[in-house]
Amino acid sequence: MASFGFMVIRGLFALAGEVAPRLTGRVAFGLFSRTPPPGRLSRREREALARSAGLMEEARRHRLRLPGGCVVAHDFAPEGGSRRAPAALVLHGWGSRAAHMATVIDELRRAGFRVIALDLPGHGESAGRSLNMASAVRAVQMADQWFGPFAAIVGHSFGGAVAANAIVGSIAGVPPVGAGRLVLVSAPSSMPALFSDFGAFLDLGARAQMALAERVRELTGRPLEEFVVADQLAAHRVPALVVHAPDDKEVPAREAESLVRGGADARLHWAPGLGHRRILADPGVARAIAEFLTEPGGAAPAGAGDQLLCFGS
């Protein structure tokens, strides 16, 4: 049963949407973009961070300056320490951080990749308390400037959608990020569907919902309906691996199925029983990702990861 406080807030949004729909839509977008308080961790999250602490301490940290504040990039040398290793970018999901990708990071460095793992704006060690597709893609583009070109980008949940949008260049004024391959783990496809569900959650009227979508256009330079990852991949044909659990309760399995339909150069790897977050800690999933990225033609040419221009922490 919904709490009394939530029902009051929902009622206020419904009323405000009738009186001032444009302002209500903008306020709703701000709420949608608000990231969780950095110090509010569940017991499971604290345990996961403790398990990954040793690996994270091995990383060199770089602070990349963006208009909204510094974004932290965790830089992991490949096993053996080769300076000519191909680079892979790893992106976490909403309410997460690079440390939660530790199993994937470790497997990739063992497979010979230099791994750059970002804390997206408003997450982990990065500055801010908000995140949206435009700010996330700008952070990825900045990482590409300093550490690219990337042989591959691996993204979990919202980070997967960010990876795809960075590669296809969906944000006006932000150059596309080159990557040889893409891995989407538990990733959503339809951003319009997410906004529709959020609007229904707040009981936004039609005009306020339109204002919410208009805010997306203001920030990205493109209409909300263009942010469908399945359509983006079908148009750009980047080789992709889609990893998803059929029992994922946060991002339905149908989203994964849509990603491999419509002509996209993508294959689907089911991971039964691993849900939305446990999937990240599964060694079998990490191996499947590494194997996909190291198939013939999957790695960047030797020397692609040589660019070391960066801000040292």
Q: Are 120 and 131 in contact (CB under 8 A)?
A: yes
Q: Which residues of 135-149 are buried (b: 16+ CB within 10 A; e: fewer)?
A: bbbbbbbbbbebbbb
- Find all residues with CB under 8 Å of 53, minimum gap 6, and list them: 99
Residues 210, 39: Cα–Cα separation, whole Å: 34
Q: Give me 74's structure tokens.
A: 């965790």
Amino acid residing at 301: P
The predicted pLDDT at position 302 comes to 34
The predicted pLDDT at position 10 comes to 62
What residues are paired with 70 via a beta bridge?
Answer: 65
Q: Are 93 and 154 in contact (CB under 8 A)?
A: no
The DSSP line for 57-110 is: HTSEEEEEEETTEEEEEEEEPPTT--TTPPEEEEE--TT--GGGGHHHHHHHHH
The predicted pLDDT at position 61 comes to 96
Q: Give me 294's structure tokens.
A: 């190291």
Taking 70 as the pLDDT cut, the residues of the chain under it are 1-11, 13-15, 83, 262-264, 297-313
Helix (H) or strand (E) holding 156: strand 150-156
DSSP state of 153: E
The predicted pLDDT at position 304 comes to 37
The predicted pLDDT at position 165 comes to 98
**pTM of the shown model:** 0.91
The predicted pLDDT at position 38 comes to 76
Write phi, then psi, for 269 (nearest 5 degrees). Answer: -120, 110
Domains located in the chain, CATH noted: 1-34+192-227 (no CATH), 62-190+232-304 (3.40.50.1820)
The count of residues in the chain is 313
In 3D space, the residue among 131, 201, 137, 139 whose CA is nearest the CA of residue 163 turns out to be 137
Residues 65, 100: Cα–Cα separation, whole Å: 23
The predicted pLDDT at position 308 comes to 31
Helix (H) or strand (E) holding 152: strand 150-156
Q: Are 78 and 113 in contact (CB under 8 A)?
A: yes
In tens, the pLDDT along 50-109 reads 999 999 999 999 999 998 899 999 999 999 877 689 999 999 999 999 999 999 999 999
The predicted pLDDT at position 37 comes to 86
Strand order in the sheet with 114-119: 60-66, 69-76, 114-119, 87-91, 150-156, 179-185, 240-244, 266-270
